[in-house]
Structure formats: C-alpha cells, structure tokens
Amino acid sequence: MTSDQPGEHRAVPVARDQDRTSWRRRIVEFVQNVLRLEGTVAALKEENKEISRRIEALQKQVLAHEGQLKVLLQFVDKALDSAVESRAEKAAIGVFKRMMSTTEKNQARKLARKDQTR
C-alpha cells in the first residue's frame, strides 16, 4: 500500500479518535466516581449525625439509670446497716441475758450453800 491509498490516511485519524474516546471515557468514569464518592460521603455524614444523636440519647439514659441506681444502693445500704444494727442489738441483749442468768444462778448457788451450812 502506498500513501495514495485511502486506507492509510484513515488509519491515523481512527487511532486518534480511539485515543480521544478512551480519554473521554476515562474522564467520564473519573467524574462519575467522584460524584459517587461525594454522595457516599454525604450519606455517611448524615448517618454519623444520626448515630451521634442516638449516642447522646443513650448517654442521657445511662445517666438517668446511674442516678436511680445510686438511690437504690443508698436504700439497700441503709437497710443493711439497720439489719446489722438490729442483729447486733439482739446479740448484745442475748449476751446480757446469759450474763444475768449466770449471775442469778451463781447467787442462787451461794444462797443454797449458805442454807446448807447453817
């Protein structure tokens, strides 16, 4: 083929057109990807805001429950202290009664011995 043939002249412009089309396609794909990424970032930002709102609500609930638990713990502590105090008093009364009983028995024995020796 010589340069006078029409096929040779067309081969160069066709290759250029293909290169241009390839570059255009790449640019279009790049722009599409950027737009998708922007949409994804925007959606993630909205999702992040919603998650932050939920976290704040959960933190408020945790604080409310913490306050309720403190009140309950104080109530239980007071009840336990009262129960311990009551048991300690009962134990002290029991010890005192045993001491009195022992003292009375000893006095009764002494009286009985005195009566026997007379």
Average pLDDT by stretches of 10, the chain with 118 residues: 50 70 92 97 98 98 96 94 93 90 80 72
Which residues, 6+ apart, have CB-to-CB distance to 101 below 8 Å?
A: none
Q: Give the model's pLDDT for residue 105.
A: 78
Q: Give the model's pLDDT for residue 114.
A: 73
Q: Give the model's pLDDT for residue 111.
A: 75
Decide if 14 contacts 8 (C-beta within 8 A): no
Cα 10 from Cα 3, distance rounded (Å): 11
Q: Give the model's pLDDT for residue 61.
A: 97
